[in-house]
Amino acid sequence: MPLPYPDPRVALATLHGKERVLAPALAEIGLRIEPVSVDTDALGTFSGEVERTASARDTVIAKARLGMQASGCALGLATEASFGPDPIVGFVPVHHELIAFVDDVHGQVLVLENLSRETNWQSKAVRTASEAETLMLSSGFPEHALLVRPNQAFAGMPVHKGLRDRAALEHAIAECATASSDGLARIETDMRAHMNPSRMRQLRALASQLAERLSTPCPSCSAPGFGRTHAHFGLPCRDCGEPADMVRAEVWSCAACHFEQEHPRSDGRVEADPGACPHCNP
Ligand SMILES: [Zn+2]
Ligand SMILES: [Zn+2]
């Protein structure tokens, strides 16, 4: 069934070639990505030249709106990634990717997210190129690009991005180590989409999730994009029946009319272990 959009164009504000991985899944549901060359780096960048001022969610929506304004499209798409140690496990790097779909036809904004440990994100301070060998190997260089800056960096200092060539990398390390007051160069994985095949894979997966979500119309207002958004807690305890600290139901909702529907847990579970019950196991 075709989606209820009079104009299938979706503006994508990007400088980083993301349309290659986002377009196929959206084409399957009849939407066409229009890449708009907008400098979204002004909203904040991975390499840290611009301070981030808004939350990731606000940033990704603002990016989508930039593309819509530049192109006149009623639909807009943008992605936003952050990388860092796993908030629960620590040390293990995780990749958190958001995708925003702004739909001015139905007056709704969908933001989907994906958390993955399949990332090459890492960073190290080195004195010489030979100290960077381990990082080069484990980061998937040169298919995955690297970035080099002085370890003690100040505004206006050189940042070498998109390094995929060993000679250029060695030159950048030497230059940045000399420029840094501590004699160290900071070498990092370049996480921009077109420089990072691992990130491209996550983006492709997220585009499929979005296409699937848009294929489901709201049962109340028929806007596209009805799907799981949050959960209700309080699964009844098997022994005493009191609400325990576990998900009781999945909640599907519509971002256009705010209609909500409760669905049973997808694993079919209807009772909680007494161990998770504040009454039986205070
Ligand atoms: Zn609705
Ligand atoms: Zn109990």
Q: How far is the CA of 254 from the centre of ligand 1 (A)?
A: 5
pLDDT of residue 93: 85
Q: How far is the CA of 223 from the centre of ligand 1 (A)?
A: 5
Q: How far is the CA of 88 from the centre of ligand 2 (A)?
A: 27
Which ligand is located closest to the Cα atom of residue 216? 1
**Percent of the chain residues topping a pLDDT of 70:** 94
pLDDT of residue 137: 94
Which three-class secondary structure state does DSSP give residue 17?
coil
pLDDT of residue 203: 94
- pLDDT tens figures, 112-161: 998 888 899 999 999 999 999 999 999 999 999 999 999 987 777 889 99
Q: What is the DSSP letter of 252?
A: E
Q: How far is the CA of 234 from the centre of ligand 2 (A)?
A: 11
Average pLDDT over every residue of 14-43: 87
pLDDT of residue 92: 83
Average pLDDT over every residue of 17-38: 92
Distance in angstroms (rounded) separating the CA atoms of residues 99 and 262: 24
Which ligand is located closest to the Cα atom of residue 242? 2
Give the helix/strand (H/E) hosting 29. Answer: none
Q: How far is the CA of 271 from the centre of ligand 2 (A)?
A: 10
Whether 193 shows a pLDDT value over 60: the answer reads yes
Give the helix/strand (H/E) hosting 209. Answer: helix 197-214
Distance in angstroms (rounded) separating the CA atoms of residues 251 and 228: 6
pLDDT of residue 57: 87
Q: How far is the CA of 240 from the centre of ligand 2 (A)?
A: 4
Give the helix/strand (H/E) hosting 142. Answer: none
pLDDT of residue 50: 47
**Percent of the chain residues topping a pLDDT of 90:** 73
Confidence of residue 233 (pLDDT cuts 50, 70, 90): very high
Whether 47 shows a pLDDT value over 50: the answer reads no
Whether 49 shows a pLDDT value over 70: the answer reads no
* Mean pLDDT (the chain, rounded): 90
* Phi, then psi, of 140 in degrees rounded to 5: 80, 25
pLDDT of residue 48: 45
Alpha helices per DSSP H over 29-109: 56-71
Q: How far is the CA of 271 from the centre of ligand 1 (A)?
A: 31
Q: How far is the CA of 108 from the centre of ligand 1 (A)?
A: 10
- pLDDT tens figures, 240-251: 999 999 999 999
Confidence of residue 65 (pLDDT cuts 50, 70, 90): very high
Which ligand is located closest to the Cα atom of residue 281? 2
Angle between helices 19-28 and 197-214 (to 10 degrees): 20
Q: Which two tokens stand for residue 126?
A: 């080195």
Q: Which amino acid is at 158?
A: P
**CATH-assigned architecture of domain 9-119+195-215:** Alpha-Beta Complex (3.90)
Contacts of 27 (CB under 8 A, 6+ apart): none
Q: How far is the CA of 143 from the centre of ligand 1 (A)?
A: 43
Distance in angstroms (rounded) separating the CA atoms of residues 133 and 226: 48
Give the helix/strand (H/E) hosting 81. Answer: strand 75-85
- pLDDT tens figures, 177-191: 999 999 999 999 999
Q: How far is the CA of 59 from the centre of ligand 1 (A)?
A: 25
pLDDT of residue 81: 87
Whether 207 shows a pLDDT value over 60: the answer reads yes
Q: How far is the CA of 256 from the centre of ligand 1 (A)?
A: 5
Confidence of residue 85 (pLDDT cuts 50, 70, 90): confident
Confidence of residue 54 (pLDDT cuts 50, 70, 90): low
For 123-189, CATH number out of 3.30.1490, 3.40.50, 3.30.1370, 3.30.300 equals 3.30.1490
Distance in angstroms (rounded) separating the CA atoms of residues 151 and 172: 12
Average pLDDT over every residue of 192-216: 94
Which ligand is located closest to the Cα atom of residue 255? 1
Q: Are strands 146-150 and 160-163 parallel, antiparallel or unpaired?
A: antiparallel
| Residue-range domain boundaries for the chain | 9-119+195-215, 123-189, 228-276
Q: Which amino acid is at 150?
A: P
